[in-house]
């Protein structure tokens, strides 16, 4: 069975077409890296899979059923809310806040829900973070708690939207290895969006590259090529392999890294300007 099946899918934000007439299948049980230039539709596609955005045309099927809002089989880790580092609640309460659905305040959990929280913390190796205030945790530690949130309810499909933002290379590698272990051990499907391919190279089964309203899905060696990426970027692209790393270049510039710095600020890595987490952005919607 396919985890996600798109058929002639067109997604739009207002009058702007983000993805146009896309058809592809993502098999269940795979780790798929989702990449592409800014505005290519990475977050938009995830929101459509979650049932939060109605397609302009075409269809989306998730685990064999039409995409609908509130699917308990999907775990979602949104782009980190800008207010997240300042929260004073404990790691346990942060994860528990989604155990019975996202609600204002902290829910009183049943024994079964408390067991779900305990199990989710254990799966991401965050048991020692349960009693610590969120504001005192490092970026990598907060990512573990966000992953624990997304695992509440034992989803079969995990959507992770830019979990590597603001992390240093070592922490990025820790997050990727953690997610790969979860995908392998739990037998789930993972869509992991990122600005750069290299942190994901040793983990992904396929890459889904978006750009110019189009999409290319397949192994790295068939998608990360000059002809495919030139079409997606709408400009000549060179692909350079250096010591096990891959660089996507245009006119002598690393376009993945340059766009990452442009969007998030090279001199101010904490100033991302993401919207605060809303009910639509909670890990289970």
pLDDT tens for 63-97 read 999 999 999 999 999 886 544 555 678 999 899 98
Mapped onto helix, strand or coil, the DSSP state of residue 67 is coil
Residue 135's pLDDT band (cuts 50, 70, 90):
confident
Please report how many Cα atoms fall inside a 13 Å half-sphere around the Cα of residue 104, on the Cβ side. Answer: 0
pLDDT above 90 covers a percentage of the chain that reads 71
Nearest to 136 by CA among 285, 128, 30: 128
Statement: residue 273 has pLDDT above 70: no
CB 130 within 8 A of CB 91: yes
pLDDT of 281? 41
- Compute φ and ψ for 229, nearest 5 degrees: -70, -30
| pLDDT at residue 264 is higher than 60 | no
For residue 279, the model assigns a pLDDT of 34
What is the pLDDT at residue 192?
98
Q: Domains of the chain: which residue ranges?
A: 2-84+156-281
pLDDT in the model for residue 32 = 98
What mean pLDDT comes out for the span 140-167?
93
For the ranges 50-64, 77-91, 258-272, the one whose mean pLDDT is highest: 50-64
Ranges 99-113, 193-207, 209-223: which has the least confidence: 99-113
Q: Which residue has the tokens 């997610």?
A: 179
Is residue 283's pLDDT more than 70? Answer: no
Please name the residue that has the structure tokens 């400009």. 235
Average pLDDT over residues 167-175: 93
Contact 204, 198 (CB under 8 A): no
31-to-49, 226, 283 alpha-carbon distances in Å: 16, 23, 18
Of the pLDDT bands very low, low, confident and very high (cuts 50, 70, 90), residue 10 is very high
Q: What pLDDT, on a 0 to 100 scale, did the predictor assign at position 101?
A: 53
Q: What is d(CA 96, CA 177) in angstroms, rounded to the nearest whole number?
A: 24
Mean pLDDT of 112-139: 92
CB-CB contact of 148 with 92 (8 Å): no
Pair 33, 204: CB distance under 8 Å:
yes
Domain 2-84+156-281 in CATH: superfamily?
P-loop containing nucleotide triphosphate hydrolases (3.40.50.300)
């Amino acid at each position: 069975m396919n985890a996600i099946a798109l058929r002639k899918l067109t997604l739009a934000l207002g009058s702007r077409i983000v993805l146009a007439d896309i058809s592809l299948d993502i098999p269940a049980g795979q780790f798929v890296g989702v990449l592409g230039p800014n505005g290519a539709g990475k977050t938009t596609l995830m929101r459509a899979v979650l049932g939060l955005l109605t397609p302009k045309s075409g269809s989306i099927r998730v685990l064999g059923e039409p995409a609908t809002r509130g699917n308990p089989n999907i775990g979602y880790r949104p782009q980190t809310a800008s207010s997240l580092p300042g929260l004073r609640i404990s790691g346990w309460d942060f994860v528990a806040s989604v155990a019975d659905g996202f609600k204002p305040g902290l829910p009183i959990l049943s024994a079964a829900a408390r067991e779900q929280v305990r199990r989710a913390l254990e799966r991401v190796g965050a048991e020692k973070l349960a009693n610590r205030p969120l504001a005192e945790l490092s970026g990598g530690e907060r990512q573990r708690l966000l992953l624990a949130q997304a695992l509440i309810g034992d989803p079969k499909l995990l959507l992770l939207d830019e979990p590597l933002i603001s992390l240093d290379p070592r922490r990025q590698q820790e997050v990727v290895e953690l997610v790969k272990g979860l995908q392998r051990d739990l037998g789930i499907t993972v869509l992991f969006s990122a600005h750069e391919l290299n942190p994901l190279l040793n983990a992904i089964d396929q890459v889904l590259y978006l750009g110019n309203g189009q999409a290319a899905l397949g192994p790295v060696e068939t998608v990360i090529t000059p002809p495919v990426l030139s079409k997606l970027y709408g400009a000549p692209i060179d692909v350079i392999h250096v010591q096990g790393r891959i660089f996507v270049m245009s006119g002598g510039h690393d376009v993945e890294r340059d766009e990452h710095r442009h969007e998030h600020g090279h001199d101010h890595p904490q100033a991302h300007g993401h919207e605060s987490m809303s009910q639509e952005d909670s890990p289970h919607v």
